[in-house]
Each structure stands twice: as structure tokens, then as C-alpha cells.
Structure 1
């Protein structure tokens, strides 16, 4: 009896799960594309790729020519614009950079010396506590 109820409950759960998918299935025989796939891809620039009637590139139809290239005047202007970028930027070790490096080096050495002093103080206080504990133990042993 228990097995029959369990099988019935599993069958109902399975049908309810599949019923949830029914909203995504078309109700008639005409296929409808999901949203987001309704149009051809957005143009990304000039190309000689052959496209089909729907606007999508034809698979296996490779471009027959190269896309349009920049003319010589545009190339010359771009080269002139970027020709001396490194020279105009200044030397790598400018005065401001050298100053900030020296400030940071000074700060690092100061912090290292402070850390070393604090560590020495901690060792000293730890040693003092050990000596005090040893002294008290000796007093406790001595009648």
C-alpha cells in the first residue's frame, strides 16, 4: 500500500514538473524564435563577408577581398602623432619620482627601526616576567 502511494506521488510530481515546461513550448506548429534571436546581428563594421537573405553570414563562405584599409594620409598623420611619445613623456626617473622613492625609503627604515625597538622591548619584558616567575617558584620551594 505504501509503495503504491509513493509511486503515485512520484508520478504526480513528475507530471507537475513537466507541466511547468509547457509554457515554453509553442501551442501550434509555427516555430517562434526565443526573444533576443529575432533579428540579424548588429553590424560591426565594413566586411566583405557574404550574407544570406536573413542577414547572417553564410557558413563556409569566406571573404573574397580584404576590408577597406586606411589611406596613406591617415597612416602618416597617426605615425606623426605618436612618433615621439616616449621623448615627450620625459625621462623615467623624474625629480618627483625620485623624491617619492626617497620618502618611502625613509619611512620604511623608520618603521623597521621602530619594529625592532618594540621587539627588543617585548623580549626584555618577557625575560623579566620569566625571571620574576622563576624567583617566585624558588621562594615557594624554599621553606
Structure 2
């Protein structure tokens, strides 16, 4: 049975971890080729499975001092964009900001990502028809690089 975002602290921690590690880093002098997938394992502290929604896709490469460099940030899908933008705009992101890059930068700035905003994003994505990926607790999953909730 999939847990449908009733456990917001776990999901917020997951999103906060992903977003904080996916902060936009300016290109470094030595970079490896971008990777297209990454691995994540969710612990089974609340449920045995979760639905994950990709908000943004991104190319990820290694920079100096083990920093990750994220580029080509784009909306994962039209459905994700249409579900996320109204929530971010109502949370204070300027209405003139509509690109995935602008949304990612806004989320990463000044503690905009709160548990309440995570909950709103989750509800909006669930009701939008955006595709989800099932994650089984304790099992590593390979996912496309980007920002996930």
C-alpha cells in the first residue's frame, strides 16, 4: 500500500535533502561528464512504500571539492509545472518567475521550503495527474537526476 503523503515530516526531510543537495552551484573549473540517474534509498520508519514525484530534471556533474554542479534544470513534465507553479506563486514567488531554474533558485533561497509548502506541493502534485514513481522502503531505486518530492 502506498503512503499518500500523510507523513509530511518524512517527506519534508526527503525533499529538503534532495533540494539542499540539488542547490544550483556555479560551474567549477574541473567537471566530470553529467550523470543522468542517481540512487536513493528511503528508510522504512513510517511506511513500506512511497510515491515520488519529479518536479525538475537536471544534469549533475562533479565539481571541485566534491561539490555537485547542477545544470539544465527543467520542468520534469507539463503536469509537474502546472501543479507546482501556482503553489509557489501563492507562497510568495514572483509571478514573473515561471522557469524551472527560477523556481529551483527561489525554493533554495531564504528558507522558502517549509513543511507547510512541502505539504501543499504534495497535495497539488497528487491531484494533478503528474506521474509518480513507487519507492519501496529499504530498496535502492535509480531515478533520473533532479528534484523529487
What TM-score bracket applies, with the shorter chain setting the length?
under 0.3
Judging by fraction of residues, say which structure has more helix: 1
TM-score (norm 2): 0.13
- Larger Rg computed on CA atoms: 1
Larger % of strand: which?
Answer: 2
Higher RCO, 1 vs 2 (CA within 8 Å, ≥6 residues apart): 2
TM-score (norm 1): 0.13
